[in-house]
Structure 1
Amino acid sequence: MKSEFYDKKKRAHIYRSIYTYKIVTLCVILALNFILAGFFFKNVDLYYIYSDSLTPYYTIVGLRLTIFIASIIIDIYILKRTASLEKRLSALAFLDKLTGLPNRYSCDLLIQGYNDSPKLQNLGFILMQLNNLKDINSGSGHKDGNNLIAEFSSILEDVGNDYGYIGRNGGNEFIVLLEDCDNTKIDMFLMDLTKRIHGYNELYVGAPMEVSYSKVLNSLEHMDKITDVLSLGYRRIHEIPQILS
């Protein structure tokens, strides 16, 4: 998986780029056809010299342009349908339906990319959970719980896009992977996220967000396997969870 996939803005840009490229290509081909038609009109006498056809030359040109324009319309229609289908397939395969974040399968593919990678040396890993999600699900219902997950995911992705890769690793688990990470970078991310969560809670929109987390800086731990980094993060959030406050 390329890193561009994990950024929502970059995913949208890729689709727009493909569509724009196709439109520009079709416009160029159309322009070339008009140029060729112009040359044909200027040298129409050659048509009658080398052709025994009784069909008027402008009928030939008009028919050709009609067929070409029809092919453009069909091409654009197919392109739009293909792009729409590709988005749906990508969403089904790699994106979490509720949040739009990379799902567990997508996270696994990303994590595998750090095996035997020099980026692992300075990788930062954060594991997050919503502390009050279980209480909200049992007290207010799963609809309110899902709303809280969706709101938190939106904030997390919006903040995290400037720092690294964000994913929902199933259920109430959210992961953040930061490359070239040190204490300053990871603290800046947590500070920005905390500000956004405080802003959300101050608006009294639905249930408040209560977030716990654990963090691992591999520049301090010096682990050789990404699975060891993740295991340490999971162990810390169960044994000594930290609270965003």
Structure 2
Amino acid sequence: MREEFYSRGKQTNVYNFIFIYKSVTLCCLCVVTAILAFYCRTDLLKMTFSKDKTSQRLLLSVLIFVLMVFISVIIDFYILKKTTNIGYRLNRLAYLDRLTGLPNRFSCDLLFESFNGSERLPGVGFIVMKINNLPTVNQTTSHDNGNNLITEFCFILEDVGEKYGYVGRNGGNEFIILIENCSDTDCDMFLSDLTKRIRGYNEMAVGTPLEIAYACVLNSNEKRSVMSELISFAYKKLKDAPQTLS
């Protein structure tokens, strides 16, 4: 799983900023407390009050201040830690597909946008896939079995595709991999590795066999100026002339 799909969200950054800000503030308070304690160290060590009312008030203020800072540190860090964890989980929910744990459509759209107007676009390779027998599984057995089939395929796809590029679920039965600086060799190697894993899964007969249709496009050949045109072309190929892995 690539962390950038959810860990760089604006909400998480805000929580992290608040956490850092509060940490620095509390450290400053601790320094001030230490300075006050240093100047009143004699009375603090002996725990005695002089007859000077000013000294008494100063000592009492230091003790109260130390207690308040200590309580504040504990409460603030507890709340901020919980808030940061909530923000992190919310970003995961926003960026990741709930069923498979892969980057969801929103994440895929953000990824596609990042290639527009950049130097990476001319060398990008894009592969879109679907599970050919998923509709049949849903109709003849159950949607639970269909979800299991999706989960199994996504596990294989992520495990194989992670070293090649960005893997995501771009909708119900739409799965993508985007490879930077992609050549025909890169595509062939990825598809070969994926085919081996799918065949291994099917031969084990642990569940419904996987039948995968795909379309692969390289922008070095297509020369598209925007990412959306390359994606549309790949989907058209998947619809009109799909290739299969099984």
The structure with the largest alpha-carbon Rg is: 2
Distance, in Å, in 2 between the alignment partners of 1:198 and 1:51 is 86
Q: Give the equivalent residue in structure 1 for 2:74.
A: 73
Residues 176, 36 of structure 1: alpha-carbon distance in 2 compared, 3 angstrom cutoff: same
Residues 50, 155 of structure 1: alpha-carbon distance in 2 compared, 3 angstrom cutoff: farther
Q: CA offsets, 1:104-133, max 9 Å, x none?
A: 222222212222222110000000111111
Residues 56, 226 of structure 1: alpha-carbon distance in 2 compared, 3 angstrom cutoff: closer
The aligned amino acid for 2:54 is D
Q: Give the equivalent residue in structure 1 for 2:177.
A: 176
Q: Give the equivalent residue in structure 1 for 2:215.
A: 214
Maintained 8 Å contact 1:103/1:170? yes
Structure 1 position 54 matched with structure 2 position 56: yes
SS of 2:54's equivalent in the other structure is coil
Structure 1 position 128 matched with structure 2 position 129: yes
Structure 1 position 188 matched with structure 2 position 189: yes
Please list every run of 5 or more consecutive structure 1 residues that lacks an aligned counterpart in the other structure. none
SS of 1:155's equivalent in the other structure is helix
Q: Give the equivalent residue in structure 2 for 1:242.
A: 243
The aligned amino acid for 2:56 is L
Maintained 8 Å contact 2:26/2:73? no
Distance, in Å, in 2 between the alignment partners of 1:193 and 1:33 is 61
Distance, in Å, in 2 between the alignment partners of 1:27 and 1:201 is 58
Q: How many residues align?
A: 237
Q: CA offsets, 1:57-83, max 9 Å, x none?
A: 4x6554333322222222222223322
Residues 200, 60 of structure 1: alpha-carbon distance in 2 compared, 3 angstrom cutoff: farther
Distance, in Å, in 1 between the alignment partners of 2:203 and 2:40 is 72
C-alpha displacement of 1:201: 3.0
Q: Give the equivalent residue in structure 1 for 2:110.
A: 109
SS of 2:151's equivalent in the other structure is helix
Which deviates more from structure 2 when the two are superposed, residues 109-118 or residues 128-137? 109-118
Q: CA offsets, 1:210-232, max 9 Å, x none?
A: 21211011112222222221122
TM-score, with normalisation over the residues of structure 1?
0.78
Q: CA offsets, 1:16-36, max 9 Å, x none?
A: xx59x8598699669757854
SS of 2:210's equivalent in the other structure is coil
Maintained 8 Å contact 1:223/1:229? yes
Structure 1 position 229 matched with structure 2 position 230: yes
C-alpha displacement of 1:145: 0.5
Residues 75, 197 of structure 1: alpha-carbon distance in 2 compared, 3 angstrom cutoff: farther
Q: Give the equivalent residue in structure 2 for 1:119.
A: 120
The aligned amino acid for 1:52 is T
Maintained 8 Å contact 2:33/2:65? no
Q: CA RMSD in A?
A: 3.6
Q: Give the equivalent residue in structure 1 for 2:96.
A: 95
Distance, in Å, in 1 between the alignment partners of 2:200 and 2:31 is 56
Q: CA offsets, 1:134-168, max 9 Å, x none?
A: 11111220001111112222222233222221221
Same amino acid, percent of matched pairs:
45
Please list every run of 5 or more consecutive structure 2 residues that lacks an aligned counterpart in the other structure. none
Maintained 8 Å contact 1:157/1:166? yes
Distance, in Å, in 1 between the alignment partners of 2:119 and 2:58 is 70
The aligned amino acid for 1:182 is S
Residues 32, 158 of structure 1: alpha-carbon distance in 2 compared, 3 angstrom cutoff: farther
Q: Give the equivalent residue in structure 2 for 1:204.
A: 205
